[in-house]
């Protein structure tokens, strides 16, 4: 059975700095001594901070957040819990300061074509996609309207909902019973690394879809397994096997940039490579719409 939504919620940090420090240290599986050594402070000081017997400076909060590899949003929460203002902004992609980020994303999406690719935020909401992804969903005859009616138009632009909801792409995934448990495991690991109410709520929602909670836990790795499990789509005569890969920005200093990921899909075999090229050629002739 998949992990319960409660198990994910328990990982969310508490409200006080002392509680958050202890919880994040446990999430990262560090002892007080290990954390102290990495932060170059005494174990006694870490203990006092977790007990609330010492108040950290702003510099100490940022140092501990860095050592604990906190997401930028959580670093702000960490600072605010200790009585300081946040250090990291959250911009929109329309903000002039985000122009280099948007340009980098557009270059990657263009260069990845004919391979499908899309950009998602920290909650798996789709921010951008390329022509290759549009062509793939068109070949699969994916109609977003039933999903929009079921969950709402804005919520339907979510990669996980599109893959798990019965009105989404689930019926087009040949090996859904094999891929879905791996996606759930990935979602749980993401939440463990970056605790988020949005991820906990999404995980709980997915488990509420038909047959999802009964999915088996992925079996332990063995030498007989492929290096990557492909996702296989099919609709009528169209069939394709794709491998997925995730790309992120290095050294982000903005919460939005910190959360963005490019999910790209590559052919798992020669037949898939040929089909993607054929889709692109057909798209040129029929005028496949842009973003």
Residues 66 and 104 in one domain: no
Mean pLDDT, rounded, for 24-31: 93
Q: What is the pLDDT of residue 285?
A: 43
- Residue 285 exposed, middle or buried by CB count within 10 Å (0-12, 13-18, 19+): exposed
Contacts of 230 (CB under 8 A, 6+ apart): 175, 241, 242, 243, 268
Query: For the segment 116-159, what is each residue's pLDDT rounded down to a tens digit?
Result: 999 999 999 999 999 999 999 999 999 999 999 999 999 999 99
Q: How confident is the model at residue 17 (pLDDT cuts 50, 70, 90)?
A: very high
Contacts of 93 (CB under 8 A, 6+ apart): 101, 102, 127, 256
Residues 57 and 160 in one domain: no
CA–CA distance, 60 with 48 (Å, rounded to integer): 13
CA–CA distance, 145 with 28 (Å, rounded to integer): 41
Q: What is the pLDDT of residue 220?
A: 60
Inside any domain, residue 291 = no
Bridge pairing between strands 238-248 and 261-267: antiparallel
CA–CA distance, 261 with 94 (Å, rounded to integer): 17
* 3-state SS assignment for residue 279: helix
Answer with the one of 81, 114, 148 that is the final residue of a domain.
81
What b-and-e string marks burial along 21-40, b requiring 16 or more CB atoms within 10 Å of the CB? bbbbbebbebebeebbeebe
Query: For the segment 227-280, what is each residue's pLDDT rounded down to a tens digit?
Result: 778 999 999 999 999 999 999 888 888 999 999 999 999 999 999 999 999 999
Q: How confident is the model at residue 42 (pLDDT cuts 50, 70, 90)?
A: very high
* 3-state SS assignment for residue 244: strand
Q: What is the pLDDT of residue 195?
A: 77
Of the candidates 85, 58, 64, 57, which has an alpha carbon nearest to the alpha carbon of residue 20?
A: 64
Query: For the segment 83-115, what is each residue's pLDDT rounded down to a tens digit?
Result: 999 999 989 999 999 999 999 999 999 999 999
Residues 155 and 273 in one domain: yes
Of the candidates 277, 288, 281, 271, which has an alpha carbon nearest to the alpha carbon of residue 237?
A: 271
Q: What's the total number of domains in the chain?
A: 2
Residues 221 and 106 in one domain: yes
Inside any domain, residue 90 = no
* Better-predicted residue by pLDDT, 96 or 287: 96
Residues 246 and 185 in one domain: yes
Query: For the segment 173-216, what is each residue's pLDDT rounded down to a tens digit?
Result: 999 999 999 999 989 888 877 778 889 999 999 999 999 999 88
CA–CA distance, 72 with 32 (Å, rounded to integer): 22
Residues 64 and 161 in one domain: no
Q: Could you list the residue range(s) of the whole structural domain that residue 235 is in?
A: 96-286
User: What are the φ and ψ backbone dihedral angles of 122, each rounded to 5 degrees?
Assistant: -65, -15
Inside any domain, residue 86 = no
Residues 147 and 109 in one domain: yes
Inside any domain, residue 124 = yes
Residues 120 and 255 in one domain: yes
Residue 290 has pLDDT above 90, yes or no: no
Residues 185 and 269 in one domain: yes
Contact (CB, 8 A) for 126 and 159: yes
Q: Supply the DSSP symbol for 158.
A: B
Residues 59 and 111 in one domain: no
SS3 labels along 101-130: HHHHHHHHHHHHCCCCEEEECCCCEEEEEC
pTM: 0.80
Inside any domain, residue 20 = yes
Answer with the one of 57, 81, 105 that is the final residue of a domain.
81
Residues 196 and 132 in one domain: yes
Residues 102 and 166 in one domain: yes
Provide the CATH number for the domain around residue 129.
Answer: 3.30.450.180
């Amino acid at each position: 059975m998949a992990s319960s939504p409660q198990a994910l919620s328990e990982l969310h940090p508490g409200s006080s700095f002392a509680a958050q420090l202890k919880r994040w240290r446990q999430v990262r599986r560090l002892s007080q001594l290990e954390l102290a050594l990495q932060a170059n402070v005494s174990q006694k000081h870490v203990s006092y901070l977790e007990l609330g017997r010492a108040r950290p400076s702003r510099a100490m909060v940022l140092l501990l957040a860095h050592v604990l590899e906190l997401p930028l949003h959580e670093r702000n929460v960490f600072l605010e819990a200790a009585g300081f203002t946040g250090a990291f902004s959250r911009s929109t992609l329309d903000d002039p300061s985000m122009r280099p980020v948007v340009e980098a994303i557009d270059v990657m999406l263009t260069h990845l074509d004919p391979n499908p690719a899309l950009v998602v935020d920290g909650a798996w909401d789709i921010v951008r996609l390329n022509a290759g992804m549009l062509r793939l969903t068109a070949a699969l005859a994916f109609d977003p309207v039933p999903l929009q009616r079921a969950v709402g138009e804005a919520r339907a632009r979510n990669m996980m909902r599109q893959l798990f909801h019965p009105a989404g792409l689930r019926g087009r995934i040949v090996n859904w019973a094999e891929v879905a448990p791996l996606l759930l495991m990935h979602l749980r690991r993401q939440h463990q690394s970056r605790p988020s109410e949005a991820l906990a709520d999404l995980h709980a929602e997915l488990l509420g879809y038909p047959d999802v909670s009964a999915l088996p836990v992925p079996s332990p790795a063995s030498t007989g397994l492929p290096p990557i499990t492909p996702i296989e789509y099919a609709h009528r005569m169209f069939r394709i096997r794709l491998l997925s890969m995730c790309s992120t920005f290095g050294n982000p200093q903005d919460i939005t940039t910190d959360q963005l990921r490019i999910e790209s899909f590559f052919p798992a075999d020669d037949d898939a490579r040929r089909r993607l090229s054929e889709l692109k050629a057909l798209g040129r002739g029929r005028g496949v719409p842009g973003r």
